[in-house]
Structure 1
Amino acid sequence: MTKKKQPLKEDAALESLSLLKATLESTADGILVVNTEGIIASYNQKFRNMWGIPEQVLANKEDEKAVSYVLNSLKDPQLFIAKLQELYATPESNCFDEIELKDGRIFERYSIPQKMGDKIVGRVFSFRDVTERKSMEQQLLYQATHDSLTDLPNRTLLYDRITENIKNAKRHNYIMAVALFDLNRFKGVNDGLGHEAGDLLLQLVAKRMSRTIRETDTLARLGGDEFVLVINELTDQSEVFPIIERCLSIFNKSFKIHQHSISTSASMGISMFPTHGATAQELLKYADSAMYHAKNQGGHKGYQFYGSYMTDKAVETLDLENDLHNAIQQQQFSLFYQPILDLKTELVQGAEALLRWIHPTKGIIGPDKFIPLAEETGLIVPIGAWVLNEVGRQLKEWEALELPRFFVSFNVSVQQFKDRNFLGEMEKMISSNKINPKSLEVEITETGLMSNATLFLNSLKWLESKGIALVVDDFGTGYSNLNYLNILPINKLKIDKSFIQDDSGKGHNIALSILALAKKLKLKVVAEGVETKEQLDFLKKNQCDEVQGYYFSKPIESEHFIVFVKENRILNEKHSNNNQVIA
């Protein structure tokens, strides 16, 4: 009986050992077991392959020799030895860490004591190759902290860098600058050459600027065409100037994109730590305020340091934006009309509808104060829709009074033309008010028209088909490429008032060129801003078609415009009768 049981026990032990060995070999981890005497008790083939240890090194089962063999492959062999010594000195401890190899691989190491009952008899090491996983993690981290277009740090990493630089500045009594800048007229590149060209421009700016900044500084992209430069480890604000001017000098040379040479510039705002702010959020906010101040100021310098008055201006702008929302809801707008006269007869031919905001506490606000804000916020679209409907209502009302037929011109913004509902609203306004489309003139600025010419072509042809005239406003102040005058269905050019009111003579020379050009192209010309008899005589002499300005009338409300039209007719009839009597 005893003899029979003995083989059974041996078979069971062999089966258990075979199962253990199969388990060790099937695992994805490299396994090493070392006893308390430093002798290798067991290992699997995965362990040997991972570490590249020859079989003969492991054959003598000395852990020390195996350790000596792998040291040359480690990035930090001293740290590896120190950790092993710590583990062997504290047999009951567990360990989980990472080991970096010189060839770029990364192993996770997990080690626990080997026990038989309560007694520690050795140590088990498990090694896992996590190189691929770590690479993926690093890629994901890079993507999460860097801009995909320019490879620059993004907003997330920028905030971290500024925060760390603030800590460093506090420790070493440094000051720091945060400079936020964007590209001037970048939208024109996107609209004119396409977004691919815009993206290439941003990449070129990032590369040029990256080569210009110091190694200790950070250049990041916030989004769009906005970038941030963090200048750290400064001892005095005066050190900022040469750095900023060197950075902005990258715009002195044009950027080559496809077949185009693009010249651009930047507007930059600068805030200082600790003078202007103590956090990343504050410094960026104040740099942003300074940047918009630099943009509004214009000039060759291109940058502005933050001042508290800028925040006051920003608050004022924010209040104005809120009021503008209310103005739309509460219909606080009104149209004033400036008469447009035929220069030969001096009879009223039409009027330009000019928008005014009747603010409940600030009184009448001119368009120059709120239209730029409306365009920036997108509110220009609902405001423009209100203007359109009000023009239609007013024309219907005037026709009921049996006034002489005349046209009303009104400004349409680029954003309105881009709005898919614009032509439908125009059609609805015409049909609902039963007005003649020929009594409408649409004005769009030369810059707005030229930068979106192909985009607007279908809309402009629709206007032409309805008999609605197209007037190029502020002509002569925008693009010098005049090919669009032959391509687009334009009826009239409006000479900017700056050329009419220029006493130096240069403005009048430009006006003469415009008049000559219009005559060749068989386009009508209207001159705005006529304020003196000398200006009027100059335009009469050079055969301008129509005029408007304070010499005849300032923009006036509807009821006063009706009176002006009637008086204008009476005066002209008297003048005509007097001429007949004299004759």
Structure 2
Amino acid sequence: MKKKSSSYHVQLSLLELAYKNNLYSILVNFTALICVYYQIASLAIPYIDLWFYFTVFFMFVRLIIDLSYKKFFSAEKSSLTPKNLHKWSVLYTSGVILGGLSWAIIAVIALPNLGIEGKFVVTVISSALAGGATGVLAPNKVVGKIFIVLTLLPASITLVFITPSLPLLGFLGTFFCFVMLVGHHHNHNQILDNIELTFKNDDLLSSLQRQNQKVLDLNYRLENRVKERTADLEKMALTDRLTQLNNREGFLGQCRQLALSFHSLKFYFFDLDRFKQINDSKGHEVGDLVLQHISTLLLDVLPEQTVVGRWGGDEFVICSPNDLEKLDALDVLCNAFSEAVYIKNKRVEVCMTIGAAHYPEDVNDIEEAIHAADLAATYLKRNGNRGAVLRFNHELLRQSELTSGLINILHEKNYSEYFHLEYQSIVDEWGNVSSIETLSRLKHPQLGNIPPLDFIPVIENTGHIMQFGCWVLENALNYVKELRKSNPELSIAVNVSPIQLKDDYFYKTIQRLLLGSGVPANALTLEITESVLEDTNLEGIISQIELLKNIGVNIHIDDFGTGYSSLTRLRTLPAHTLKIDRSFVVDMATQGDGLIKGILSIAGQFNLDIIVEGVETEEQFIQLKALGCTKFQGFYFSMPNRDADLFLL
């Protein structure tokens, strides 16, 4: 099929070249016709005029065919079928052969009647036409040879057989005819080779173009695939794989875009409560499904134009131009989270603590807003308010800075560089010092003096309370040891955290410290807050207290009356003394002394001693003594001081 197609295109090219030279051939033939007719017109040669007119007419027809072909070819080149190609080839061939016959006829009928000069003229013209045909008619292999033979061979033969004969001239004409045929054959083959080479070059060029187009197409497809893959990778880089929410980078990017359209944005930091327990008890697969469940809830409940992201393991962030608290969206979410769900046939209860921050009302940039919302959620969890919602305020920032500063100090474990102990006296009804209480103090190099109510919770929440508590106890015991050299009956009280009491080895720690200091156990008092009675591990705490009490350590319940402990639990606690909180002393001026009388009655029922804290005036001291109180503590007797000798003298 390919060979047939190639042959058609070669024939078409040969025909194009033939018709390209056809007009010149007609003009040359017409010129030669005029010259010959001029040479023989005056002679009495039969039918010479008829020959001339027939030849002129025929040349005119060839001219019409040539012009028609060029018009047809230029307009309908694309529709030149093999059938049309054959038609135009036949017309061309017919015209050339008829032209050759015309010259053959004139040679036969004219040469016998011409003189020597005329014979030479006709022979030269015929030879010139044959010579021209080797080039002009070279595109057509057969037609060109026929034309050369018709124009030259009849004339040469006639020259041999006419009287007088010119055999040499005839022989030269015949030889010249043979040479012209060889030349035509060579020219035809040269043209054919050129055409075929052109087609090969065209095929090669087409092949190269096709290959180039394939490369371009492949490159285009590759570019599109690279673009698609790049887009996928960018999306993957900005998307959390587990939940399909935005990751940190994706969330921040969308928030920045949202900030271009809205002057205020609200950020919410969702911290999943006790997620570690879910992973530990239900397995990480369930934990992952819980995170996916939460992601679905967030997307379903939150309004449009809200950006949702997963910030960390069990932390989610939300950015919205709307105040979700006012839209009740947070309430809907909290209610949805509070409902137990079944994942892989396992009941899972989920609770979220939510911190909020507004940008730019609360902070200066987007990342600060997320951090601020995180601080608010952390504050809630640290203070036991899980499941609540809190908006950031600058007091939270101060506490965060305090926490960070404290953590750095606690990691150094060089407590003496930042902490020190102060002491306040506890006196009897005559004002004699019977004991001293140890008070921890912190002076931060940047934040200044920080009260215990601020730094003790941080020490507890960061897991340093055991080490810090040992440092306080050790220093307090060593200090009272020196004081007891001049005051042998003096005892010292030290506050301890419920976390310390939960440690199974706390009892042994106290024994080791007492042994190391040489202070007797009855000279040490441990003060615990009333909130310990509400602890879920109360039995373990009571067990530790009983062990301590058995070796002689005194137990005081500090700040009594500020909590919500029941009398039943109070009875189970093996304590020696209740310390009445200073708030009851302050309230005596406005609300009377009924509450203090009630506490004294309770203490009497449980055989507990009483120490009244916060005595600041002589009037309070007298009034409390009148009620039956026998031990007191407060600024009226002494201010906390690093040197207890000042109030022991």
Query: Does the alignment reach a TM-score above 0.5?
Result: yes
Q: Is 1:453–2:565 an aligned residue pair?
A: no
Whether 1:337 aligns to 2:337 is: no
Residue in structure 2 matched with residue 486 of structure 1 by the alignment: 571
Match of 1:434 in 2: 518
Q: SS at 2:258's partner residue?
A: helix
2:269 aligned to which of 177, 180, 188: 180
Displacement after TM superposition at 1:453 (Å) = 1.4
Higher strand share goes to which structure?
Answer: 1
Identity over the aligned pairs, expressed in percent? 27
Distance in structure 2 (CA, Å) of the matches to 1:305 and 1:256: 27
AA matched with 2:558: D
Counterpart position of 2:242: 145
Q: RMSD of the TM alignment (CA)? A: 4.9
Q: Secondary structure at the match of 1:416?
A: helix
Tell me the CA shift for residue 170 of structure 1.
Answer: 5.7
SS at match of 1:145: coil
> Is residue 513 from structure 1 mapped to residue 598 from structure 2 by the alignment?
yes
Q: Check the 8 A contact 1:248/1:266 in 2, yes or no.
A: no
What is the match of residue 247 of structure 1? 330
Q: Which residue of 2 aligns with 1:166?
A: 255
CA deviation after TM superposition for structure 1 residue 158, in Å: 5.5
Closer, same or farther in 2 for the Cα pair 1:513/1:221, shift >3 Å? farther
Instruction: Determine the C-alpha separation between the residues in 2 that align with 1:492 and 1:206.
Output: 50
1:539: how far off? 2.0
1:407 and 2:491 aligned: yes
Q: Which amino acid aligns with 1:333?
A: F
Q: CA deviation at 1:502?
A: 2.2
CA contact (8 A) 1:267 1:295 kept: no
Structure 2 letter corresponding to 1:145: L
Greater Cα radius of gyration, structure 1 or 2: 2
Q: 2:507 matched to which residue of 1?
A: 423
Write the distance in 1 (CA, Å) between the matches of 2:552 and 2:265: 61
Task: State the one-letter code of the partner of 2:526.
Answer: V
1:8-28 per-residue CA deviation (whole Å, 9 max, x = no partner) reads xxxxxxxxxxxxxxxxxxxxx
Secondary structure at 2:468 match in 1: helix
Q: CA deviation at 1:408?
A: 1.0
Per the alignment, residue 159 of structure 2 pairs with none
Among candidates 459, 463, 474, match of residue 389 of structure 1: 474
Residue 442 of structure 1: how far off its partner (Å): 0.6
- 2:528 is aligned to 444
Q: Which residue identity is paired with 1:565?
A: L
Amino acid paired to 1:247 = L
**Match for residue 634 of structure 2 among 549, 552, 557:** 549
Residues 1:317 and 1:434: Cα distance change in structure 2 (over 3 Å): closer
1:347 Cα offset (Å): 2.6
Q: How many residue pairs end up in the alignment?
A: 397
Kept in 1, the 8 Å contact 2:372–2:392? The answer is no
> Partners in 1 of 2:501 and 2:406 — Cα distance?
25
Counterpart AA for 1:159: R
On the 8 A contact 2:251/2:309 being kept in 1, the answer is no
Structure 1 residue 346: Cα displacement: 3.4
Partner residue in 1 for 2:142: none
CA–CA distance in 2 between the matches of 1:405 and 1:275?
Answer: 56
1:268 to 2:384 alignment: no
Using a 3 Å threshold, how does the CA distance of structure 1 residues 246 and 546 change in structure 2: closer, same or farther? farther
Residues 480 and 434 of structure 1: is their aligned pair in 2 closer, same or farther, counting only changes over 3 Å? closer
Deviation string 1:354-405 (CA, Å, 9 cap, x unpaired) is 112355687765423432332232333222111111122123222333x140
Partner of 1:380: 465
Equivalence for 2:453: 368
Q: Does 1:284 align with 2:381?
A: no
1:426 positional shift: 0.9
* Cα distance in 2, alignment partners of residues 162 and 327 from structure 1: 39
Say which of 621, 625, 634 aligns to 1:536.
621
In the alignment, the residues of structure 2 paired with residue 252 and residue 474 of structure 1 have an alpha-carbon distance, to the nearest angstrom, of 37
Aligned partners of 1:455 and 1:223: how far apart in 2?
36
Query: Which of the residues 538, 547, 551 maps onto 1:462?
Result: 547
Unpaired runs of at least 5, structure 2: 1-213, 219-238, 341-350
Q: Is the 8 A contact 2:409 2:415 kept in 1?
A: no
Does the 8 A contact of 1:169 with 1:175 survive in 2?
Answer: no
Opposite residue 330 of structure 2, the aligned amino acid is C
Aligned counterparts of 1:271 and 1:470: Cα–Cα separation in 2: 48
Residue 554 of structure 2 corresponds to residue 473 of structure 1: no
- 1:342/1:547 contact within 8 Å kept: yes
The amino acid of 1:434's aligned partner reads G
SS of the equivalent of 1:502 reads helix
Q: Which runs of 5+ in 1 are unaligned?
A: 1-89, 95-141, 147-152, 258-263, 567-583
Tell me the SS of whatever aligns to 1:338. strand
Could you tell me whether the CA contact under 8 Å between 1:270 and 1:304 is conserved in 2?
yes
1:350-369 mapped onto 2 (5 Å cutoff) = 350-357=435-442, 365-369=450-454
| C-alpha distance in 2 between matches for 1:275 and 1:172 | 19
CA distance in 2 between counterparts of 1:481 and 1:145 reads 48
Give the Cα separation in 2 of the matches to 1:390 and 1:337: 12
Alpha-carbon distance in structure 1 between the residues aligned to 2:354 and 2:262: 29
CA contact 2:356–2:373 (8 Å) conserved in 1? yes
State the 1:506 CA deviation.
Answer: 4.3
Q: Structure 1 residue 443: deviation in Å? A: 0.9
Q: 1:510 to 1:425 in 2, by over 3 A?
A: same
Structure 1: how far apart are the matches of 2:548 and 2:506?
11
> Residue 341 of structure 1: SS of its match in structure 2?
strand
State the alpha-carbon separation in 1 of the partners of residues 468 and 567 from structure 2. Answer: 31
Residue 501 (structure 1) aligns with = 586
CA shift for structure 1 position 546: 1.7
Cα deviations by residue, 1:178-220 (Å, 9 ceiling, x for unpaired): 212669xx89xx9xxxx99xx99xx9x979x969654775778
Q: Are residues 461 and 240 of structure 1, via their aligned partners in 2, closer, same or farther at CA, if it must alter by over 3 Å?
A: same
Q: Is the 8 A contact 1:498 1:507 kept in 2?
A: no
Residue pair 1:180, 1:229 contacting (<8 A) in 2 also: yes
Instruction: Mark the CA change 1:313 to 1:334 in structure 2 (over 3 Å): closer, same or farther.
Output: closer
Question: Quick one: distance in 1 between partners of 2:497 and 2:516?
Answer: 23
Distance, in Å, in 1 between the alignment partners of 2:248 and 2:324 is: 20
* Change over 3 Å in CA distance of 1:485–1:507 after alignment to 2: farther
CA displacement, residues 551-572 of structure 1 (integer Å, 9 cap, x when unaligned): 11111233xx335234xxxxxx
Structure 2: how far apart are the matches of 1:492 and 1:171?
64
Partner of 1:40: none
For residue 108 of structure 1, what is the aligned residue in structure 2? none
Q: Mean Cα displacement is larger for which, 496-505 or 547-556?
A: 496-505
Does residue 303 in structure 1 map to residue 390 in structure 2? yes
Task: Tell me the TM-score normalised to structure 1 length.
Answer: 0.55
Q: Distance in 2 between matches of 1:541 and 1:421?
A: 43
User: Are the aligned partners of 2:533 and 2:565 in contact in 1 as well (CA < 8 Å)?
Assistant: no
Shift of 1:488: 2.1
**TM-score, normalised to structure 2's length?**
0.50
Residue identity opposite 1:424 in structure 2 = K
Distance 2:638 2:579 in 1: 18
Q: Distance in 2 between matches of 1:513 and 1:219?
A: 56
Q: Measure the CA separation in 2 of the matches of 1:249 and 1:510.
A: 44
Structure 1 residues 548, 250: closer, same or farther in 2, change over 3 A? farther
State how far apart, in whole Å, the 1-side matches of 2:335 and 2:613 are.
36
Q: Following TM superposition, by how much is the alpha carbon of 1:471 offset from its aligned partner in structure 2, in angstroms?
A: 1.3
Give 1:269's aligned amino acid: A
Q: What's the offset of the Cα at 1:324? A: 4.9
Taking a change above 3 Å as real, the CA distance of residues 330 and 389 of structure 1, as seen in their structure-2 partners, is closer
